[in-house]
Chains A and B, each alone.
Chain A
Amino acid sequence: MGGDGSGGDAATQVRAVIDEVYRTESRRVLATLIRLLGDFDRAEEALHDAFSAAIEQWPGDGVPASPRAWLVSAGRFRAIDALRRRARFDASLTALAAQLEGQTAAPVEWIGEPTLEDDRLRLIFTCCHPALQPDAQAALTLREVCGLTTEEIAHAFLTAPRTVAQRIVRAKAKIRDARIPYQVPDRQELPDRLDAVLRVVYLVFNEGYSASSGATLTRHDLSAEAIRLGRVLVDLLPEPEALGLLALMLLQESRRAARSLNGDVVLLDAQDRALWDRAHIAEGVALVERALGAGPPGPYAVQAAIAAVHAEAATADGTDWAQIVGLYDVLLRADPSPVVALNRAAAVAMRDGPAAGLVLIDAILARGELLDYQFAHSARADCCRRLGRVDEARAAYARALELARQEPERRFLQRRLRELASLVAFGLWALGSCWL
């Protein structure tokens, strides 16, 4: 790899260019090929063939001016060619090949920039179509939009590769057989359908942010992929809730380095704020402001605003709890769920003291809600502990421990129980994962 300008070196350079083009363009090219060829599997094969052709031809012919357009053309050409060859054994493919070839009248139209960007959105909306199972939506999005391998997805979701592969195969079959259209929903349908997409992106993020079970607390790659997806959405469709979700993810991600120490959970109030990622915070805060300025705030924008208040407090004691309670009031109106009510109760406990928080938490549990939710019991335990009601605190921590699935969280709760046993009057205040 010496820089002597020999022919071999030029080939290496072209190979590096192709690798780079693969990294930056392959998902865009795939999205367009799916539209042109009308089938996910055929498009994936065409994508593979297009890059094989690039490896053969670019070293001799030079890198084309628009690699993306070249790859789309090459992939499409090879797919039609392959159909023609197979048509010798299956006559029904002749008509299909002719039909696909007939769509080529205006090449500018099918590889023009705006159309290509639309294709990425089409792909996202198709992968997150509500007619597909939620698990399949996430897997398919990671596979097709992000380009993760089946093994990577399986590893991230702690499932067997075979399970993930089956989900993806079934989802693709349903798209084909039930004819789920490859399109961005119209204005009327967009809010609901965008919600579904944002839900998938947030699910992927949370799966990385706080693994639902297992020994490690965070799986960074999934969070990074979710943020990448969030950026794509904001670029293509800057709706307020898309901005809000990206802001929320960036602000939560900013605390990653401070959230654990030697594999143990460190709660928000005990985190070393010097470890928070200032660039993520600045970007997140700017996005929150954009989202809030764009109309009545949706749930993601409000959650991001809450995260921003935490991010902007120089110390835990300096947190503006009154503002956080106010934002939870807004969130509760948009999303009247018991989990939001619990988080509001925890914020009230910080603003007005543990007795006020405990009344609200007990009211939620008395309604029969969140009885099996770990964080409801750990929040109750902490209020009791701060009030000196040791027996109640111990019972509530024990219940939380029964429900906790993540090792670091279990260790945290066990630590709390030990502390209670030695009657430590002062301590850290524990709460749900949203406070991590």
Chain B
Amino acid sequence: MRYLCLIYDEEKKVAAMSKGEQDAFMGEYFAFTEDVKKSGHYIGGEALQPVGTATTVRVRSGKMSTTDGPFAETKEQLGGYYLINAKDLNDALQVASRIPSAKTGTVEVRPIQEFN
């Protein structure tokens, strides 16, 4: 079964890291990604550019409006995701708990809706 792991963290925290800390953090991500590729859990995953680059789109009465930024001010921002294959929720939670940002931010694990 497929699960999407959405990674939320404070951008400011990562931005405030020293060069050495950032490298170590990225190193953890590379190691984790390698790990889940080997275990067969990995389907895909990407990091996102900072929330300042985000644009929100809405269409109302056929008219498109675009606004700057995400639609809600929150402390933690969506910073990336992994799409994984897992046996069940426990298996998915095990994988999600090893995502480096789980130690500092929040990882939301959502089962993928399958349409047959």
Contacts and interface: CB of A to CB of B under 8 A. Distances in A.
Contacts of A181: 87-91
A179 B88 contact: yes
A177 B111 contact: yes
Contact of A131 (B1, B87, B93): B93
A210 B103 CA distance: 38
B39 interface: no
Interface residues of A, number: 11
Contacts of B116: 92
Interface string B92-116: 0100000000000000000100001
A129 B91 CA distance: 13
Contacts of A129: 89
A180 interface: yes
A129 B88 CA distance: 13
Contacts, number: 22
Contacts of A180: 88-90
A129 B109 CA distance: 15
Of the candidates B87, B88, B90, the one having the most CB atoms from chain A within 10 angstroms of its own CB is B90
A189 B93 CA distance: 12
A108 interface: no
Of the candidates A129, A178, A181, the one having the most CB atoms from chain B within 10 angstroms of its own CB is A178
A370 B60 CA distance: 49
Interface string B5-37: 000000000000000000000000000000000
Interface in A171-199: 177-181, 183, 185, 189
A92 B91 CA distance: 26
Contacts of B111: 177-179
A71 to B, nearest CB: 27
Contacts of B1: 179
Interface in A100-141: 129, 131
A226 B88 CA distance: 29
Contacts of B87: 181
Nearest to B116: A92
Nearest to A189: B90
Contacts of B93: 131
Nearest to A183: B90
A185 B1 CA distance: 19
Interface in A136-181: 177-181
B112 to A, nearest CB: 10
A181 B88 CA distance: 6
B101 to A, nearest CB: 19
A35 to B, nearest CB: 14
A185 B91 CA distance: 11
Interface string B58-88: 0000000000000000000000000000011
A228 B91 CA distance: 31
A180 B88 CA distance: 6
A179 B111 CA distance: 8
A9 to B, nearest CB: 51
A92 B116 CA distance: 9
A363 B111 CA distance: 48
B106 to A, nearest CB: 14
Contacts of A92: 116
A374 B88 CA distance: 44
A94 to B, nearest CB: 13
Contacts of B90: 180-181, 183, 185, 189
Contacts of B89: 129, 131, 178-181
A237 B89 CA distance: 24
A168 to B, nearest CB: 18
A148 B111 CA distance: 31
Interface in A209-256: none
A383 B108 CA distance: 48
Contacts of A178: 89, 111
A146 B87 CA distance: 29
Given A131-B93, A181-B88, 13 more contacts: A92-B116, A131-B89, A178-B89, A178-B111, A179-B1, A179-B89, A180-B88, A180-B89, A180-B90, A181-B87, A181-B90, A181-B91, A189-B90
18 contacts: A92-B116, A129-B89, A131-B89, A131-B93, A177-B111, A178-B89, A179-B88, A179-B89, A179-B111, A180-B88, A180-B89, A181-B87, A181-B88, A181-B89, A181-B91, A183-B90, A185-B90, A189-B90
The 5 closest A-B pairs by CB, nearest first: A181-B88, A179-B88, A178-B111, A180-B89, A178-B89
